[in-house]
Amino acid sequence: MQTYILVDTANMFMRARHVVRGDDMYTKIGMSYHIMFNSINKVWREQSGSHVVVCLEGRSWRKDFYEPYKRNRQAVISAKTEREQEEDAQFWQAFDELQTFFRDKTNVTTLQHGECEADDFIARWIQNHPNDKHIIVSSDSDFYQLLSPTVQQYNGITQELITVEGVFNDKGKPVIDKKTKEPKVIGDPQWLLFEKCIRGDTSDNVFSACPGARKKGTKNKVGMLEAFADKDTKGYNWNNFMLQRWVDHEDVEHRVLEDYQRNMHIIDLTAQPDNIKQALDEAIVEQVQKDKKAQVGVHFMKFCGKHSLDNISKNAGDHASYLNAGYIQGV
């Protein structure tokens, strides 16, 4: 069994900038590099990693399938000040240097396709390596649906390991939920996926399939929990919930089942169209690390020197371990 470290690269790099308070651009960029490299290194050492897979973004196929997908983000970008836009540009330039380093100077696998998101690659890699262990490095809760006994997630921003058994801090102790005062748990991944498909995803501008749906039903109305429990048998509770109709603000009628199926297609990371799955598979075969690159440690030290990553360079040997490790096919 191999242990693959799957990196949601843009997510980690861009989220890390918010860890630093203040306006110093170079400090923020340095922190993003710091959190990126140290997150991979921590998981690599503690989980006995075999190979790192860096996953990058493309223009998502979901935008063609569902026109509103992530449309809200353009409004956020347009509302930014000139200074904020300049900061974004500098961050993307720094990110481009990072992905070029991974692709050209190391033995990690770097995956990218024009129609696919990093999420797609991570989910497809897991599907294509069912007998191996996988650690997803990301702060994105969309990956909770993929959690299993062999799939975990490490959030390098909060330094938490997220598993089906619970959430653990950087010392391996359970994280305590501030509301319940009990050890924090994520819950059933399939329930989390179902709930998101019903409620929608405001961050990605995916509309609810049933606005105002209650988690637990009442005497006269079936809730999401009852419908989910009846999901496999498709009995009374499932049909009672899914066959409801509602009218939106533009006086357009919707049926819950149809919007739920639409959202499943968008949100379920294993439900891509067949042509997208084929594109992912072809990209993985083509781009998986094959030719062993030399002097990786030297290139890493040069990268650290260029970006003044003094603390990272002090442990260059640790980082060189995962940057040097080529792809090994699992059994």
Query: Distance between CA atoms of 142 and 150, rounded to whole angstroms?
Result: 17
Q: Which domain holds residue 253?
A: 189-267
Residue 293 in any domain: the answer is: yes
How many independent structural domains does the chain possess?
2
Query: Distance between CA atoms of 249 and 99, rounded to whole angstroms?
Result: 43
CB 53 within 8 A of CB 125: yes
Q: Are residues 30 and 166 in the same domain?
A: yes
Residue 137 in any domain: the answer is: yes
Q: Are residues 157 and 223 in the same domain?
A: no
Long-range contacts, 25-31 (Cβ 8 Å, 24+): 25/87, 25/90, 26/308, 28/87, 28/91, 29/90, 29/91, 29/94, 29/307, 30/307, 30/308, 30/309
Q: Are residues 121 and 214 in the same domain?
A: no
Q: Are residues 64 and 74 in the same domain?
A: yes
Residue 110 in any domain: the answer is: yes
Tokens representing residue 265 in the block? 């297609």
Predicted TM-score (pTM) of this structure: 0.94
Q: Are residues 78 and 140 in the same domain?
A: yes
Looking at residue 330, what is its pLDDT? 57
Residue 329 in any domain: the answer is: no
> In a structure prediction context, what are the per-residue pLDDT tens digits for the chain, which is 331 residues long?
999 999 999 999 998 888 877 668 888 899 999 999 999 999 999 999 999 999 999 989 999 998 988 888 887 788 888 888 888 899 999 999 999 999 999 999 999 999 999 999 999 999 999 999 999 999 999 999 999 999 999 999 999 999 999 999 999 999 999 999 999 999 999 999 999 999 999 999 999 999 999 999 998 899 999 999 999 999 999 999 999 999 999 899 999 999 999 999 999 999 999 999 999 999 999 999 888 999 999 999 999 999 999 999 999 999 999 999 999 875 5
Domain boundary among 267, 287, 304: 267
Sequence-distant (≥ 6) Cβ neighbours of residue 141 within 8 angstroms = none
- At 326, the amino acid letter reads G
Q: Are residues 163 and 246 in the same domain?
A: no
We report the CATH number of the domain holding residue 87 as: 3.40.50.1010
Q: Are residues 206 and 62 in the same domain?
A: no
Q: Are residues 158 and 177 in the same domain?
A: yes
Residue 331 in any domain: the answer is: no
CA distances from 62 to 21, 119, 139, 207, 263 (A): 34, 12, 21, 14, 10
Query: Distance between CA atoms of 52 and 323, rounded to whole angstroms?
Result: 8
How many CB atoms sit inside 10 A of residue 203's CB? 12
Looking at residue 323, what is its pLDDT? 97
Residue 328 in any domain: the answer is: no
Domain boundary among 267, 287, 313: 267
Q: Are residues 118 and 157 in the same domain?
A: yes
Q: Are residues 68 and 13 in the same domain?
A: yes
Q: Are residues 249 and 230 in the same domain?
A: yes
Looking at residue 288, what is its pLDDT? 94
Looking at residue 80, what is its pLDDT? 84
CA distances from 28 to 34, 89, 140 (A): 10, 13, 20
